[in-house]
Amino acid sequence: MSGSKSPSKRRWRVARRRLPRQGGLPAVAGSQRKTEAPNTDIEDRKRAESALQRSEDFLAEAQRLSRTGSFGWNVSTGEIFWSEETFRIFGHEPATNVTLDLMLSRVHPDDLASVQRVIDRVATHREAFDIEHRLQMPDGSVKHLHVVTHALVDKPENQEFAGAVMDITAHKETEHALRHSERRYQNLFQAMAVAFFEVDYTSSRQLLRALRDAGVGDFRRYFKENPTFVRDIMRATRIVDVNDRTVALFGRGRKEELLTSVESFWPEESLQDYVEAVLASIERNQEFSTETRMRRLDGTIFDAHFTLRYASEDGQRGLAGVIDITARKQAFLALEKSEQRYRHLFHNMPVALWQLNAEPLIATFKELRGQGVGDLSTYIDDHPEFLANAIGALMVEEVNDYTVQLFGARTRQELLGPTHWTWAKSIDTFRRAMESRWRGEELFQETTKLVTRDGRVINALFTAARPQTIEGLPISLISVIDLTEQVRAEEELQRVRADFAHAARISMLGELTASVAHEVNQPLAAIAAGGEASLRWLARPTPDVDEVQELTKGMVADARRASEIIARIRAVATRRAPEPILLSLDDVIGEALLFLRHEVESRGVAVSHFSALGPQKVLADRTQLQQVVVNLAVNAMQAMAQAESKKRNLTIRTVAPDPTRLRCSVEDSGPGIEPRHETRLFDSFFSTKDGGMGMGLRICRSVIEAHGGRIEADNGSSHGGARFSFTLPVASA
């Protein structure tokens, strides 16, 4: 607009309207001044007009692109001219009649006073101005304007101003964002838990350039051969700013101390790391980071994570970040050590260990709970396929050497994955382990039978541990202890015990030979007598068939009785493995007394058997339990005989002292137990009998204890003699 001459509002507007837009003409730099030039030649005028129009078009385009409008203001007449772009900036249609009020109505309320002041000053002092202010647009948005004017001084009596209105909203926003980001950067720089320092490479770059100019191509090699040069570079690398964290990490409290070179940060041992950083910069890498060791001003060295970023394009400035990783490194080392210890233990323990990934199983559990399953046991009853699926979901991830050995595998790999192969004999154990996990128990343990890879069956103590805190991973640790030897030893012990009891029974049969013989002879004698009698009936002149028939029936019954007695003796004499079955304690006592009937009769002993038991049963081997009762009864009868007691009473009682136990006591009317013998009664080879081996009570104790019971003796007999009692656990079911 500068240089236009006295443009009247009307004329300008008319001129603008008169000029239809036409493109394609050469650009003519110029202004409206040309329109003022007198020209009588029509062609010239036409040419001038089209040139002017072109010029105006270009101007309008330029204004639009630069978001800069123009205006003219005749202070004397109050006339105001706006360019097309100015109208757009102010948000008015170009035809609007421009007045000061129209302009002021758009000014942001907060800026209205200052704009008014500027206008007043212009009107009074006719001064050019340059202000920034805001517009409040009808849609609520705010525009930032930069308005510049200058006076057209060639007409002092008719003061006019020409000006430019720049929409600087976008610029303002950028500036704001920039300021914001700068503040943020500063905040970060100071507050982050990372030591940041800004370095200036200008001098060190010069050193490197000089080196290159001197013909050095292989920097790495050069640095290696000239370590002092690396130090030179360090010294030439200046620290221009540090954050508080750097002061805390490297310094001694004063920031200024650190604003020197980076040399002191780099101990000899880290020289190579520094070289790498320099090489990275030479190779124009934007960023470099490494773990290294750095030095504080006080000389101490620490583990650091060092990052370098070139802040400027030309690589003159860089930002270095240092994190003290001493603690992290130590923690890592400790972790590594503990991991190694775990590995070592895992692989070298003389126990089979498996590490399982339980993640899919836990997902299944979660799903089941989501479906409202409360009791897993019931669920398994309804969905038997669950167990196979669960085995499939539990993957062995690792096993130790001992497992490979114990499970007869050729390689570790054979044991990885699901464990279907091991549960053939013990699916119930697996089921209980699942139920235990379902209940959230951390530990499950059971002795069971596992199938090995080579098809053997081993007795094992199976333990599953589910530590809850291994990095949140659902890991199970399984240990398998081979109990095969132990079970074999246990079986061997049982066998020796059974042999021992058997030997004792044989020995007792020996002691009871007379009674045994009598028991057998009794029915045999009856049969013989019956036979004789029959013969006599038949030898009569008139054989009495009825009598013979009766006698023959009796003989058959006696023969049956004889074979029963022999079977009973045979059972006592036979050696066989104990076979625990559910027994009534009173039945066993009755059988023992039957066996002793003759002994009791011949010794003239009065025997009574009182029972206070209901239907409770014990789980025991019949022969062994009979043996105990026979032994205790024989002991009592022998004691009474030895003491030549006149009155010989033997009472056997059974009671249930509590719901879990049954007791049987054998009471006699003998002399009782001498106090000095009390503690040794159940020892081997202890006997008060003439010619006694001293094994009877020892066997009784061994049998009772093998059945989970206890045996004891006192002088609490109701007949005033000794009382031997044993208890056995009540069998459940």
Site of interaction with another protein (CB under 8 A): 514, 518, 521-522, 524-526, 528-534, 536-537, 547, 550-551, 554, 558, 598, 601-602, 604
For the record, the structure tokens of 273 come out as 């790391």
Q: Any bridge partners for residue 541, and if so which?
A: none
Residue 55 or 534: which CB sits closer to another protein? 534
Residue 260 or 549: which CB sits closer to another protein? 549
Element of type H or E holding 457: strand 457-465
Give Cα separations from 20 to 15, 44, 53, 220, 400 (angstroms): 10, 18, 8, 72, 95
Going by C-alpha positions, the residue among 329, 326, 327, 309 that lies closest to residue 318 is 309
CB of 602 to another protein, least distance (A): 5
Residue 304 or 555: which CB sits closer to another protein? 555
**How far is residue 563's CA from residue 547's CA, in Å, rounded to a whole number?**
25
**How far is residue 603's CA from residue 642's CA, in Å, rounded to a whole number?**
11
Residue 79 or 550: which CB sits closer to another protein? 550
CB of 527 to another protein, least distance (A): 8
Q: Any bridge partners for residue 462, and if so which?
A: 446, 480
Residue 92 or 568: which CB sits closer to another protein? 568
Look up residue 726 and give its amino acid: F
Residue 426 or 651: which CB sits closer to another protein? 651
Element of type H or E holding 397: strand 395-399
CB of 531 to another protein, least distance (A): 8
CB of 697 to another protein, least distance (A): 27
Residue 312 or 602: which CB sits closer to another protein? 602
CB neighbours of 640 closer than 8 A, spacing ≥ 6?
Answer: 603, 605, 648, 650, 668, 669, 670, 721
The answer to whether 114 touches 131, Cβ cutoff 8 Å, is: yes
**How far is residue 132's CA from residue 146's CA, in Å, rounded to a whole number?**
4
**How far is residue 430's CA from residue 420's CA, in Å, rounded to a whole number?**
10
Residue 499 or 532: which CB sits closer to another protein? 532
CB of 557 to another protein, least distance (A): 10
Going by C-alpha positions, the residue among 190, 193, 197 that lies closest to residue 324 is 193
Element of type H or E holding 694: none
CB of 644 to another protein, least distance (A): 14
CB of 525 to another protein, least distance (A): 3
Q: Report the Cα–Cα distance between both ends of the chain, in Å, rounded.
A: 115
Residue entry with tokens 């014990």:
618
Going by C-alpha positions, the residue among 57, 53, 100 that lies closest to residue 80 is 100
The answer to whether 306 touches 292, Cβ cutoff 8 Å, is: yes
Please tell me what DSSP assigns to residue 596: T
Residue 312 or 549: which CB sits closer to another protein? 549
Residue 417 or 604: which CB sits closer to another protein? 604
CB of 729 to another protein, least distance (A): 37
Look up residue 166 and give its amino acid: M
CB of 540 to another protein, least distance (A): 8
Residue 297 or 529: which CB sits closer to another protein? 529
CB of 552 to another protein, least distance (A): 11
Residue 170: exposure state from Cβ atoms within 10 A (0-12, 13-18, ≥19): exposed
For the record, the structure tokens of 348 come out as 């070298």
CB of 534 to another protein, least distance (A): 8
CB of 547 to another protein, least distance (A): 7
Residue 83 or 534: which CB sits closer to another protein? 534
Going by C-alpha positions, the residue among 443, 436, 450, 445 that lies closest to residue 487 is 450
Residue entry with tokens 């053939």:
424
Dihedral over alpha carbons 47, 53, 58, 59 (to 10 degrees): 120
Instruction: Tell how strand 287-295 and strand 238-242 pair up.
Output: unpaired
Residue entry with tokens 């199970």:
476
Residue 324 or 558: which CB sits closer to another protein? 558
Angle at 546 between CA 544 and CA 552, to 5 degrees: 105
**How far is residue 232's CA from residue 262's CA, in Å, rounded to a whole number?**
11
Look up residue 278 and give its amino acid: V
CB of 537 to another protein, least distance (A): 5
Residue 33 or 553: which CB sits closer to another protein? 553
**How far is residue 87's CA from residue 71's CA, in Å, rounded to a whole number?**
10
Residue 598 or 723: which CB sits closer to another protein? 598
Classify 72 as helix, strand or coil.
strand
CB of 429 to another protein, least distance (A): 58
**How far is residue 674's CA from residue 683's CA, in Å, rounded to a whole number?**
15
CB of 643 to another protein, least distance (A): 18
Residue 56 or 558: which CB sits closer to another protein? 558
**How far is residue 462's CA from residue 403's CA, in Å, rounded to a whole number?**
13
CB of 626 to another protein, least distance (A): 23
208 — alpha (psi -120 to 50), left (phi > 0) or beta? alpha
Q: Any bridge partners for residue 582, and if so which?
A: 619
Residue 537 or 724: which CB sits closer to another protein? 537
CB of 555 to another protein, least distance (A): 8
| CB count in 10 Å sphere of residue 597 | 15
